Amino acid sequence: MTHPLHAASADAAGETTKQQADELVLEAQLQPLADGGVETSRLLSEALRLDPSNHDAQILLERLHQMTVPRWHFPMLADTGRNQAYAKAIAEKVKPGDVVLDIGCGAGLTAMLAARAGAKHVYTCEQQPLIAAAAKEVIARNGLSDRITVIPKWSHDIKIGVDMPEQADVVLSEIVDTVLLGEGALATLTLAMKSLAKPGARCIPESGMLFAQPIESDSLYEVWRPQAAEGFDLSGFHHFATVAQMTPGEFDVCNPRPLGIRAKLFDFDFTNPSMKDASISGNLVCSEAGMVHAVLVTFEMRLTARITVGNGITAKGHWGRTAFLLKHPEAVAARDMISITAQHDTAALSLTVDGIVAPEATSQSDGASTTATGKHEMAASPARVLKLATS
């Protein structure tokens, strides 16, 4: 039986510990996040060490992590197909003695793959301090701290002779979104290949392509363009959703049916990136009848000449999808064409559906298939490419 004095002493110590934890939580709440959340994280972690059930510390630490560590990191790391493709590409391209620059460290997986492939040294950059610190721990646990240096900076801020002793033989990255452009890959790789890499340096990935494809999906339209609820007309709200951004799970639920083969929109050379805007106009050819609800845009990324990854309509993995919604669903017959205009400014993509063109409106001129508006047909075959009109 516990002596009453001992019990009272333990209770008092417990109250003191909880009070100390509460004070740390209050201090954490007053911290600015200019350091990327490092001090806030330290204070909240210490509060939870003192009082593991502290409600405020639990909530605030989770909010901090949600804000500073994007949730897509976790399904990306669990994407076996993506991981295996990168592992094979890195093993093929990285040679013993190479210096590798890995842009966008994350948990450190691609950096460790490069070290395993025989790199003399890997320099991996990560601008988010909490992620950079976690990557250092992951790398240390895998016994690779002597061969991998984590640079807690944007790649744009890396200086040769300061952060890296020499330029890289290989530039490695996976900094793309569902349409390749949204994470600033072109600007980042333009600078990296020019300033941080040796002449003739290898690049993983080597290139990327964007494709467009007409799709039918009642479920997609019902979710993103609900016509009515409880007898009320909701159409006045639809202009807020012209582009559907879907997780893999949401995309699977929509179960889209392709109404034509995909057509290439743009090519991107990551080894020698271009920072020129581009636009293209043309027609997507429907191979079967149906109701067009959206134009799906997907990518294919070539890691090496033999290894590709992507988020096409049947692809599995962590990448989501982007669909450009029609204002109203359009019925099409086989051989009908959907007139579109796509544009990019190297950082973002836009796509406009201009209308439906029936096959009888098509004329032949100089051996090229054009519509009455003079626009080129886009989807005669998966490999057919339109001539880009740069702006």
Active-site amino acid positions: 174, 183
The token pair at 143 is 């016994």
Altogether, the residues listed in the chain come to a count of 391
Neighbours of 43 (CB within 10 A): 23
Instruction: Name the residue with tokens 């070290």.
Output: 115
Indicate left, alpha or beta for 299 from its phi (over 0: left) and psi (-120 to 50: alpha).
beta
Q: What is the dihedral of CA 82, 324, 211, 156, to 10 degrees?
A: -60
d(CA 387, CA 370): 13
What's at 83, amino acid-wise? N
Q: Which residues pair with 301 in a beta bridge?
A: 208, 309
Radius of gyration (C-alpha) of the chain in whole angstroms: 26
Contact 118, 99 (CB under 8 A): no
> Which of these, 308, 306, 297, lies nearest to 349 by C-alpha position?
297
- One DSSP character per residue, 191-232 reads HIIIIIEEEEEEEES-EEEEEEEEEE-HHHHHHHS--EETTE
The token pair at 281 is 């106009």
d(CA 243, CA 342): 13
Torsional sign, CA 376, 373, 346, 83: negative
